[in-house]
Structures are given as structure tokens and as C-alpha cells.
Amino acid sequence: MNPRSGYVSVAAAAAAATRAAYQQLRRRPPVEARMWQRTNYAGRGVELYGGLAAAAGAATAMAAARGVSVRARVAAVGAALAAGACGAYDDQKGVPGERGFAAHLEALRERRLTSGGVKLLGIGAAGLAAGVLLKARPLDQVLAGVVIAGSAHAVNLADVAPGRAAKAVITAGLPGLLRRGPGAVLASAPLGAAAAVLGDDLHERTMLGDAGAHALGAALGAALAFADGRGALVTHAALVVALAAAGDRAGAGQRFWSAPVVRRFDAWGRTPHPNG
């Protein structure tokens, strides 16, 4: 099989599975529909089905991907589903005032388990487990775990404006497709899933939420970790740690998204609002 046709087929499968899941969730919401309704930054009502659908679509495509070992597929699918499940828990149980690593670590020191603490521990453990499956040496396994969990967190940091997190996944995933090999095949799955919900996200019909953002980020992180050698693992691990640290600092993200080129790309396709 031509490598590029393999990427395209996995991305297309992820997109198709995501759209099918999205339509099904809108027809028959899990539990109660009100649990998946939110008010966005502009005061407009949106739902979280896009995130659940993207998590399911990416996982389905990775599970069926050809040319990727069973071990790598189990690692990537497991990391994505575990991260998505932890994110869905936070979507339902999260408290607005308890955000950021510092707040969750402080709560753990006080022997309180917040929904963010569940994400921190659950996604961290899932990332490490996936790293053990993807890499042979202990240091590489730990670094891979950091890349996977950190990527999940990094994408979630971007999920504060319509389409921003989906664009982040697509932008971060495209360079991975330039590589040849199974890592690139895996990377095409979260990319296809993100593309499938981008339009609905931009037009404020849905949003990824913690479930979708964490799942797609973990899937992308697993693909990167699988393809990375030691040097690239160190680089990617340092990058996601730096992003996490910046996310805890007030104003750091705002300065980045206010940069002229970034601001134009971020605003592309979004419905303008008088209040932001």
C-alpha cells in the first residue's frame, strides 16, 4: 500500500466514524440530553456530542488501522479512550474554580480528589501504560507517557474558543504525516476526527469539551511517541511540560493567541460576536 493512501484511508475512516457517532448521539443522547448542554463564551448554547464522537471516531480508526502492530494500536486506542473517559468525567463533575495543575495538586495534598485530579492521575497512568507498550527502555517509556498525557492536556488548554482545539490537533498532526511509517498512520486518525467536527465547532453547534480534547490529544501524543526516537521524545516531553506550565500562568495563553498571525488563523471560519 502506498503510505500516503494509508494515511488518507485512516483519516477518512476516522472522519466517517466521527460523523456517524455524532449523528447518532444527537438522535439518542447518552443518559439525559441536558447533561451534555453548555453555554459557551458568547453566551450561546452548545452541546458536547462532537467531543464524544471525535473520541469514538479516532479510536475506531486507530483500532482498524493497517500496517500498525497490535501492540501499538492497543496503546493508542487505550490512551485515547482512557483520556476521553477522564475528560467526560470532568465535563460532568468539574467545578469552574478548580482549574490548572496547581489547584488539583493542592487539592490532592489536602486529600481531596477533584475531577481534575481524576484527570491528572487517570490520564497520567494511561499515558505511562501506553508508553510501556510503545517503547522498550524504561526512560523512553516514561518520556512517552509524558508526551501522551502532556499532549492531552495541551489540546485541552486550547479548547476555550470555537474550533481552536480542533485546529490545534490538525496543525500539530499534519507534520507527523510527513513521516513514513505506522506513527504517521496513527496520527492521521485524530486529524481526521478533528476535521470531521471542525465545521460544527466553528459554527457553535458543538464543542470538543474535555472528553474530545483529551482523547484527541492523547491519540496524537501516542502517535508522536511511537514514531519518536530518544531525542525527539525529550523535545516533545519538554514542549508539553512547558505548555502545561504556561497554561497555569495568567495571561501567557492570551499573549500567544493575540499574536497577529495566530489570531488570524484562530479566527478563520468562526462566527464573529460583538462581545468577543
- The 3 state secondary structure assigned to 44-100 is CEEECHHHHHHHHHHHHHHHHCCCCCHHHHHHHHHHHHHHHHHHHHHHHHCCCCCCC
> pLDDT tens digits, residue range 71-87?
999 999 999 999 999 99
Distance CA 104, CA 93 (A): 14
The single residue listed with the C-alpha cell 466514524 is 17
251: helix, coil or strand?
A: coil
Q: What is the pLDDT of residue 96?
A: 63
The answer for residues whose C-beta is within 8 angstroms of residue 180's C-beta and 6 or more apart is 3
Q: What is the pLDDT of residue 4?
A: 59
**pTM flag (> 0.75):** yes
The answer as to whether 145 is a domain residue is yes
Q: ∠ CA 144-150-155 to the nearest 5 degrees?
A: 130
Q: What is the pLDDT of residue 41?
A: 72
The answer as to whether 267 is a domain residue is no
Which residues form the domain of 139? 3-252
The answer as to whether 274 is a domain residue is no
Cβ proximity of 192 and 14 under 8 Å: yes
Q: What is the pLDDT of residue 179?
A: 72
The answer as to whether 187 is a domain residue is yes
Q: What are the grid coordinates assigned to 106, written together?
A: 493542592
What CA dihedral angle connects 171, 122, 105 and 103, to 10 degrees?
60
Beta-carbon neighbour count of residue 48 at 10 Å?
Answer: 24
The answer as to whether 164 is a domain residue is yes
Q: What are the grid coordinates assigned to 22, written together?
A: 455524532
> pLDDT tens digits, residue range 157-211?
998 889 999 999 999 988 877 777 888 899 999 999 999 999 999 999 999 999 9
Q: What is the pLDDT of residue 269?
A: 83
Q: What is the pLDDT of residue 253?
A: 63
The answer as to whether 276 is a domain residue is no
The answer as to whether 98 is a domain residue is yes
Q: What is the pLDDT of residue 38?
A: 85
Domain count, the chain: 1
Q: How confident is residue 29, by pLDDT bands cut at 50, 70 and 90?
A: confident
> pLDDT tens digits, residue range 209-226?
999 999 999 999 999 999
One DSSP character per residue, 130-181 reads HHHHH-SSHHHHHHHHHHHHHHHHHHHHHTTSTTHHHHHHHHHHGGGGGS-S
pLDDT, averaged across the chain: 87
The answer as to whether 264 is a domain residue is no
Q: What is the pLDDT of residue 17?
A: 97
Q: How confident is residue 53, by pLDDT bands cut at 50, 70 and 90?
A: very high
